[in-house]
Structure 1
């Protein structure tokens, strides 16, 4: 039986946060809340996580402010887009849906840092945490990017750096060179799954948040996040934490390890045949791994 799906928007100040619920929310059932990456991407590439609703865990997807079905704000200045804004949005959504007393968070990439920061505040209703393909800080991320870029085929990184220095990162040549990196370290499937492409199209159509907080590409982080991280608060996370990454991930082991070393109750699952999206690249193992974890922390 396929779990029912409902959609709606939550008021967030003068804005709206779009969400989708798969399964039935109730106080007795622990909800799995899926926090997407970017920042400035959308939920689409994580849609397959709705499968966990078939096992009795209701699943909440949402689009963070600035993209997808949520309010777009292309005219807002870069300083509007802050980590605190997105923490507040998440808290607001939990209250709106009535699940703040019983939930698990799944955060992917940027979303992994966001849920770690949320968890470090010790919210009473948080039962568990899944951090997927995320760096513990952007300085660590940039160090890893330098290593991965240096290992690209001859001439690719030279092309990237030439355009980055010239400020022409919107050129076709730059985009073609980024694709070489992305095919190695973002998603190794060919072609990319439709859900994954959908999030890229959304980000391309409105890159406001991504450009302000990240920059023009995954490996050229020049936005407001470039010096930010969560290593200083990981020891405050008090719930069982599952850490996921891929062997070919742009989130390299050096960027991920602080989660495992500093969170008191953390376990790391490395996916050998994956890069940045194990839920798409190794879906069967991913479902088994996350499903087993949810059985230990969630009420159904």
Structure 2
């Protein structure tokens, strides 16, 4: 499988991307939006294997992260949903695929993908929302419920350091790891590509800390009041929802997508938490590839009947 890397110029900044497969193959590419905000493409690189089916896949590092331009001095007024939507549109235009493409967003990437889809962009054929909440109120509420099921000493450590503002301590990080082992990635040892993403956040936490906070469940950043629930009915493309049975994105956080998007289906992976593409890779990639093929087959049949 051939791959190529490059940069899309976005004003003063550069977005790094990698294309797996051939954009001229005749199949609409899948563009993968990573999570965080503040992660890198590394932990979602498994989706690149979909290119083995003949469909090109585009992975990229959102600005502020990975191999794209880092801006550690920028604050909350810079790191906004609109900024990342503009970056995505710029990448699509730079790649020359604006006439037809699919999008897959994981975690924050799914939130961003939903924000993109409600604008009804020309060329978007379908959307996969993987392990994403429909609002941060739901996310935090469910995170608190999951935290309550942790061993009491772990939850006490989390609360103590969050109250004291010492979330950079080793004790806090160890307690966070206990939650992540249950609800973020249940593969032991942690896969190398997932570890690379966590290491990248540690090296430059600007975007993650600014928009989210110090951990997945202590959300004190600029996204803390985010919600898309009242706009989901505007999505006019087929949508596949993905989540894991043990996911921090619990069914309650995903349910508004299922209830409100007009054309939607939902697959829950029974042996996964927040990363089915890692925890049940073959089944997850197969589900995504099948969905994309079904969407295009349906579109072709519709054109034929017209």
SS in 2 for 1:33: strand
Structure 1 residues not aligned, in runs of 5+: none
The alpha carbon displacement at 1:26 in A equals: 2.6
Match in the other structure for 2:303? none
Native 8 Å contact 2:25 2:54 kept in 1 = no
**Residues in 1 aligned to 2:49 and 2:187: alpha-carbon distance in whole angstroms:** 21
Match in the other structure for 1:188? 186
The alpha carbon displacement at 1:55 in A equals: 0.9
The alpha carbon displacement at 1:99 in A equals: 0.8
Native 8 Å contact 1:83 1:114 kept in 2 = yes
**Residues in 2 aligned to 1:269 and 1:297: alpha-carbon distance in whole angstroms:** 16
Counterpart pick for 2:130 among 118, 129, 132 = 132
RMSD of Structure 2 on Structure 1 (CA) = 1.2
Match in the other structure for 1:160? 158
The alpha carbon displacement at 1:50 in A equals: 1.0
Give yes or no for the alignment of 1:214 onto 2:212. yes
Runs of 4+ in 1 over 6 A off after TM superposition: none
Native 8 Å contact 2:38 2:206 kept in 1 = yes
TM-score by length of 1: 0.97
SS in 2 for 1:296: helix
Structure 2 residues not aligned, in runs of 5+: 301-306
Native 8 Å contact 1:57 1:298 kept in 2 = no
Give yes or no for the alignment of 1:108 onto 2:96. no
Match in the other structure for 1:53? 51
The alpha carbon displacement at 1:81 in A equals: 0.5
**Residues in 1 aligned to 2:296 and 2:20: alpha-carbon distance in whole angstroms:** 16
Native 8 Å contact 1:18 1:62 kept in 2 = yes
**Residues in 1 aligned to 2:146 and 2:242: alpha-carbon distance in whole angstroms:** 19
Match in the other structure for 1:293? 291
Counterpart pick for 2:147 among 149, 164, 168 = 149
TM-score by length of 2: 0.96
Q: How far does the alpha carbon of each residue in 1:162-197 deviate from its partner, in whole angstroms, 9 at most, with x for none?
A: 101111000000000000000000001100111111
Q: How far does the alpha carbon of each residue in 1:230-252 deviate from its partner, in whole angstroms, 9 at most, with x for none?
A: 11211010111000000000000
The alpha carbon displacement at 1:104 in A equals: 0.4
Match in the other structure for 1:80? 78
Match in the other structure for 1:248? 246
